[in-house]
């Protein structure tokens, strides 16, 4: 990124995330000659390479199922100035008026306030459920494993590296704030208890669903962006269905539109969207 006079807008925690969905204007595209088309695709390809070569920056490219949109990008990068510059360049990369934004979403990676702490794990799981004695060899071993697992997990939430699993699902969601169903008027303890039920359901999808929850309160219309990666679309359908029965979703969740994409390398993506 070249405008180095601008001060970076890097957060003290986490990365900025943009979900960018575009429709292709085939009438504009058809006006281009073969050389112009080739040059346009080369421009986008080089831009994608430049973005991916940027430090701590990731870009997923995918085709969107159904005419809701054609092409999707998910951009993760620390500096919002850089994210915005790349977003503008992506929009223009194939030439003016070829890509028109169909939907976009701004959020940030975040750690969760409900993540189990070491003290909770020790008291509730090891002592409370498993009946271990504090300080015993077994207890110490279990704590060490927990702390290693959590360190890895927390790093992934804030600084994720997403796998190239083929199916990607995105939707924004909020927690309800109406009448008796106001998530934000519940006590922390009540929310934590509810979230532990949510996480229990979620963990049964380990290895099949990779979820990335990014926070967007004050940044975009909903409160979170939900990104799910899967190898099989049925796992997306199943987890979202099963979550609907969990109280956190059944009672408190409100959803925006759902987008389903397929991660593809750029040359395949161009073919898929008939460019």
Place of tokens 């009438």: 27
Distance CA 58, CA 70 (A): 20
Place of tokens 């080369």: 42
Closest residue to ligand 76R in the complex (CB): 202
- Beta carbon nearer to ligand 76R, 80 or 210: 210
Residue of 81, 115, 233, 238 interacting with ligand 76R (CB under 6 A): 115
Q: Is 253 in the site for ligand 76R (CB under 6 A)?
A: yes
Contact 16, 108 (CB under 8 A): yes
Binding to ligand 76R, residues 190-229 (CB under 6 A): 195, 198-199, 202-203, 205-206, 209, 211, 213, 224, 226, 228
- Beta carbon nearer to ligand 76R, 57 or 116: 116
Distance CA 244, CA 123 (A): 30
Please give the full DSSP string across 171-227, using - where no structure is assigned.
Answer: EEEEE-EETTEEGGGS-HHHHHHHHHHHHHHHHTTTTTEEEEEEE-TTTSSSSEEEE
- Beta carbon nearer to ligand 76R, 237 or 271: 237
Q: Is 171 a catalytic residue?
A: yes
Q: What minimum distance in Å lies between the beta carbon of 61 and ligand 76R?
A: 23
Q: What minimum distance in Å lies between the beta carbon of 102 and ligand 76R?
A: 22
Which position among 86, 171, 252, 259 bears the catalytic label? 171
Residue of 49, 112, 118, 136 interacting with ligand 76R (CB under 6 A): 112
Q: Which residues pair with 230 in a beta bridge?
A: 167, 209
Length of the chain: 275
Stretch that binds ligand 76R, among 33-41, 69-77, 124-132, 241-249 (CB under 6 A): 241-249
Binding residues for ligand 76R, how many (CB under 6 A)?
24
Binding mask 41-60 for ligand 76R (x = CB under 6 A): --------------------
Q: How many CB atoms lie within 10 A of CB 182?
A: 12
Contact 75, 18 (CB under 8 A): yes
Q: What minimum distance in Å lies between the beta carbon of 205 and ligand 76R?
A: 5
Which tokens sit at 67?
Answer: 């005419």
Q: Is 262 in the site for ligand 76R (CB under 6 A)?
A: no
Element (H, E) at 119: helix 118-120
Phi and psi at 71, nearest 5°, equal -120, 145
Q: Is 114 in the site for ligand 76R (CB under 6 A)?
A: yes
Distance CA 67, CA 24 (A): 10
**Contact residues for ligand 76R, defined by CB under 6 A:** 112, 114-115, 173, 175, 195, 198-199, 202-203, 205-206, 209, 211, 213, 224, 226, 228, 239-240, 243-244, 249, 253
Residues with catalytic function: 171
């Amino acid at each position: 990124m070249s405008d180095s006079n601008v001060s970076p807008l890097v957060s003290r925690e986490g990365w900025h995330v943009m979900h960018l969905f575009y429709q292709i204007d085939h009438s504009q595209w058809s006006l281009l000659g073969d050389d112009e088309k080739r040059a346009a695709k080369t421009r986008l390809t080089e831009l994608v390479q430049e973005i991916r070569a940027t430090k701590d920056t990731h870009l997923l490219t995918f085709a969107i199922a159904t005419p809701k949109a054609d092409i999707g990008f998910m951009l993760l990068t620390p500096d919002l100035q850089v994210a915005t510059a790349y977003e503008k360049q992506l929009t223009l990369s194939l030439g003016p008026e070829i890509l028109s934004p169909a939907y976009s979403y701004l959020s940030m990676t975040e750690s969760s306030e409900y993540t189990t702490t070491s003290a909770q794990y020790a008291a509730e799981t090891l002592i409370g459920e498993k009946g271990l004695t504090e300080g015993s060899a077994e207890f110490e071993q279990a704590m060490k494993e927990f702390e290693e697992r959590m360190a890895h997990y927390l790093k992934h939430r804030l600084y994720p590296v997403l796998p190239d699993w083929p199916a990607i699902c995105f939707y924004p969601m909020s927690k309800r704030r109406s009448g008796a169903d106001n998530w934000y008027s519940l006590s922390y303890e009540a929310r934590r208890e509810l979230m532990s039920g949510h996480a229990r359901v979620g963990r049964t999808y380990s290895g099949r669903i990779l979820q990335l929850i990014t926070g967007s309160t004050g940044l975009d219309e909903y409160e979170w962006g939900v990104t799910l990666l899967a190898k099989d679309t049925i796992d997306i359908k199943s987890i979202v269905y099963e979550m609907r029965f969990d109280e956190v979703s059944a009672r408190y969740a409100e959803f925006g539109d759902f987008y389903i994409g397929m991660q593809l390398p750029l040359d395949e993506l161009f073919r898929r969207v008939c460019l």
